[in-house]
Structure formats: C-alpha cells, structure tokens
Amino acid sequence: MNIFKAKSINPGIYIGKARFLVSKAPIIRHSHISADKAAAEFEYLTDSIDVALAQVRQILTTLPEEGQEKEIFETQEMILADPDILQKLETLVLKELNSAPSAVKIAFDEVIAHFEGMQNDFFASRAVDYKDVQQRLLDILLGVHTDPLSSFQAGEVLFCLEPSPTLISSMATQGIGAWVSQKGAYTSHAAILSRGLNLVAITSIPELAFKVRDGQQVIVDATRGELIVEPDADTLARYQKLKADMEASALKDQARALEPAITSTGRRVRINVNIELPEEAATLKAMGAEGIGLFRTEFLYLDRSSLPDEEEQFQIYSSVAKDMAPFPVTIRTFDLGGDKLSHLIPFEPEENPFLGCRGLRFSLFRPDIFKIQIKAVMRAAVAGNLQLMFPMVNDVEDLLQAKELVAECSKELAEQGIRHKADIPIGVMIEIPSAALCADILASEADFFSIGTNDLTQYTLAVDRNSETLSYKYAQHHPSVLRLIQMVLKAARKAGITVGVCGEMASILQYVPLLVGLGLEDLSVQPAKIATIKSIVRKCDLHLEEMVQNSDLDHLGEVEDLIYQKLKKYYQD
C-alpha cells in the first residue's frame, strides 16, 4: 500500500481501478500548400470550425440552464467565433499558405503560450480552454474520431496529466466518477465543471505515471487530499464504511440546508458563498445560502473586446442583488494587476506581479476605470442589499483614498439626479499582513472585514500557494496566520464591526470547527459545501469554544493535533 499527498479539487471518497488516459492526438508537422489550393483549404477550415461549434452546442444542451458549468462551454463557443482568431487563421492559410492543421497549431499555440506565460491560475484555465478547442479542431481536420474514454468502464478512476473541460463532461456521461491528475488548478474550468458535476478529484501528484499502474485498485480521498494505491484489507474496509457514512450524512445535511447554522451555545454563524459569475446567483437561496460574501468581478474585464461600461455593470449587479434579496451581496471591486490584467488596459509588465500594482492599488492608479465600477454598484444597491469590498488593502491610507472616490462618485450621481445608495457599506479584504497588523486602525474606517486566507497565508509565510515544491510549507493553519486572524477578530469586536472568512480556508471542512471556535461570525464558502458546513456549525458546542480559546496555538504540530485529533468529531461522523 502506498499513499501520496495531493491537492483536493472536489471533496469526497471514490474507490475503483486506475486507468490512464492514453492520448491518441497525432503529431502536427508544419506543412504548406500551393497558392491555387489556398481558397479550398480555408473553406475546409471554416467548415471544420462549424462542425466544432455544433459539437460544443450539443454539449451545452446536456448542461444545466443556470450555473457556471454552461458558461465554460459558452466560452469555448466564443473562442471558435473570435474574429481575431479567425483573422489570424485566414492570414496563415490564404497569405502564408499554411495547411489548415498547421494554421490551427500556430494560431492557438501563440495564444496558449501567452496565457501560460502569465503564471496565474485564472489564465492557466484560459490556456486549457484554448488547448481544448485546438484539439477539437485538429481532430476534425485530421479525421480523428476516437473517443478517448472508449476503453474506460463505469466505476474506473481516470488518471491523466491534466484534464480538459471536454474530457470532464464526457466522464460524467460515461459513469466515471473520479479523476486524478499530475497537473491542475483549483480554479481551472475542468475543476469548476468537476464540482458542478460532483466528480471526486485530486491533482498535483508529481510523476504520477511512475506511481500507479493501470488496473491497480485505488482510493481517491479528496477530503484529506490523498491517493491510496493498492490499499490493504483493513484500509479498504474502513474507507468503504466511511464512504457509505458520508453519503448517508450528506442526505441528512441536505434536508436541513435551508435552516440557519446555530451552534449548541446559540451563536449564529452566517453561511455565505463565493461566486465568480452572475448566473450562479439564481439558485443560491434554494441551496441555503444566506448571502454572497464574495462576488469576484474580474470576469467583466477579461476575455472581451471592450471594457464594461457603467450601464452593463449596473445591470449585472442589479440582477444579482435581486436574485439574493434580502440577503447581502458583497461586490469585491476588480482585483486586476500585473498577474491578472485585461489586454484592454495598457500596463507595463512587472517582475513580481504578486507584490506589484494589483487589487486596490491598481484601482487607485486607474480611478477612471474604478469610478465606473463604484457608480454601477451604488446604483444597483437601490435594488438590493449590496456592499462594496476592496481587495489588497495595505493600510488605512489606501482605504481613505478609496472612500474619497466613493464620496466623489456619490456626489456626481446626485448632481446628475441618478438614484443610488450613498451610504453603501464599505468593507476591507484582509489579505496582506500589514492590513491585519493595522486592523484596529482600519476597523475605525470600515463597516466590515473579510479575511482572504489564501493570500494572507502566502504573504505571511512567503510561500507561493501554487508551488508544487513548497506545497508542504503552505499551511493556512500556521500559528502566524492564526495569530493574525485573532488580531483581526479582536480589532473588529472592539470597533463593533463584523468579520468573516471568504478564503479557501472557510470551505475546508477540517477548518470549520477551528474558525467557529476562534469566533468567526460568517463564512463564505463554495456553494456545494453549504449544507455540510451548516451541519458542522450545528455540532459546535461550549466544549469546542473553550478548547480552541484555551489551546496553545504557538507551534504547528500543536495546531495540527487540535484540528486533526481533538476537533475531528465535529467535522467527521
């Protein structure tokens, strides 16, 4: 029996036989055509694009009408209709006399290399989208019709280098309920689809092909982030029971999803959700969400041909506000910067974008763009319970500058006779150590805090959260991070403002009792986790609160003993 650590993409337990995906993609060698054949070759290429569009649209008919899953393949539909891509392909075939397959290889490789060079999860998912579309086109052009999953049996576990959205959608229809990959990101479109389709998944296992063989029995423990190869009899029996218990427990949790999460001591913990796209909001209340704690707005500025104007943003924010009313919706102003930047905004590349002009810093650098968003949110707040939250706040000076712009926007809207909410609540995302250390000063100027544990951890520990080499060092429960959280809580309580967690930590089941015990008032989580996290909160009692408050959290080993041993009964049946 061998156990390998991994990163969880979608939690759960799956037991089956390993099966590696064997790529049948042909090697594309650059080839040219004669000038007299160019027109026919380009027509062949455009016909193939039409076939690809038809395939993508067929996939769209199998996905739910509402939700992010459909948006992923709508993105692929837009890629196939992108005028810039089509213009590039036309030039490559008609003027440079490349064959259709060569043109697709050249054009898409350029875009893929551009996105991959940005070294960012958001853009990594875009690179995979373009790879997926490229492969679909090449398969059509070259007459490759082999289903990559044709040799798979229902109940097997798919192993691969990195999954594509198309592969994930095929898995769901063929009864393959889990996948394991060497590469992948939590925010990738394959990962988002997997969570939407409830596929158990883990990633980031180096040299995966050397650790597992086809046909070996495996346990994918995506709750703990482990791959168990050839489990012994006791381990297999334990996991079979655990899987059955988890499935039974999930059914019970779902039955109470619409009820509030109240600890046995009577303390209510609000369970909000994080969303990336407005379409997600329509079904959230029915799932038990009590608000949107983080609405990321970067989608408005990326993968498009023009910047969003005030009216477009107003319509989107109004729609989300109405969908969630009367619950609060926290709009995080755009978190753009050197690592995540629209091609429509000229900006010099930075050597270290994660420590550069990003988040609120970038917004203050471009108030012309920033004010458009602020005005749209203030106008939309008339339709529902909207709040503004600023990312990457360094200190109170940053916050004061941003509040000045909010006041300026309110004045300009009033002068134009446009209805808006002048006293819209303003929050600070605590994700830089300096903000946590100055939390008492920030609390005097903010209406609420939300702790972004992902960045707070990586900036506090000086560890890139995407580094495979240093993944063992990236611990959101590190004593230094917990001390900063306690500091923020103390400052918020003294000032009488609310504080929650919107980072990944809030969605990790093992951390929920710890966060509740520390005194967090709201958790903003992945939508699929709402019912389970509410259930965990209800189990929290006076003993837990006393245990967490009185525990020595000075050493990592002691914190891990608290989480994985003493608090285990609260998150594991």
Helices in 181-336 by DSSP H: which ranges?
Answer: 189-196, 233-255, 284-287, 310-324
And the tokens for 27? Answer: 């090697």
CA 143, 145, 148, 151 dihedral sign is negative
d(CA 344, CA 362): 14
Contact 171, 179 (CB under 8 A): yes
Give every strand in the sheet of 178-181, ordered side by side. Answer: 2-5, 226-229, 217-221, 13-20, 157-160, 178-181, 200-203, 7-10
Catalytic sites, residue numbers: 189, 502
Angle of the 367-380 helix axis to the 310-324 helix axis, nearest 10: 40
**Residues β-bridged to residue 200:** 178
d(CA 282, CA 324): 8
Contact 399, 390 (CB under 8 A): yes
CA angle 339–345–346, rounded 5-degree value? 90
What's the DSSP call for residue 416?
T
Backbone phi and psi for residue 570, each to the nearest 5 degrees, phi listed first: -80, -30
d(CA 336, CA 310): 17
d(CA 209, CA 153): 20
Residues 6+ apart with CB under 8 A from 484: 430, 433, 436, 437, 456, 460
And the tokens for 34? Answer: 């004669």
And the tokens for 504? Answer: 């990944």
Backbone phi and psi for residue 81, each to the nearest 5 degrees, phi listed first: -105, 5
Strands 7-10, 498-501: pairing kind? unpaired
And the tokens for 384? Answer: 């529902």
And the tokens for 118? Answer: 């940005």
Strands 498-501, 386-390: pairing kind? unpaired
**Residues β-bridged to residue 275:** 295
Compute and round to an integer the Cα radius of gyration of the chain.
25
Omega cis (within 30) before 326: yes
One-letter amino acid for residue 520 of the chain: L
Residues 6+ apart with CB under 8 A from 251: none
d(CA 500, CA 524): 7
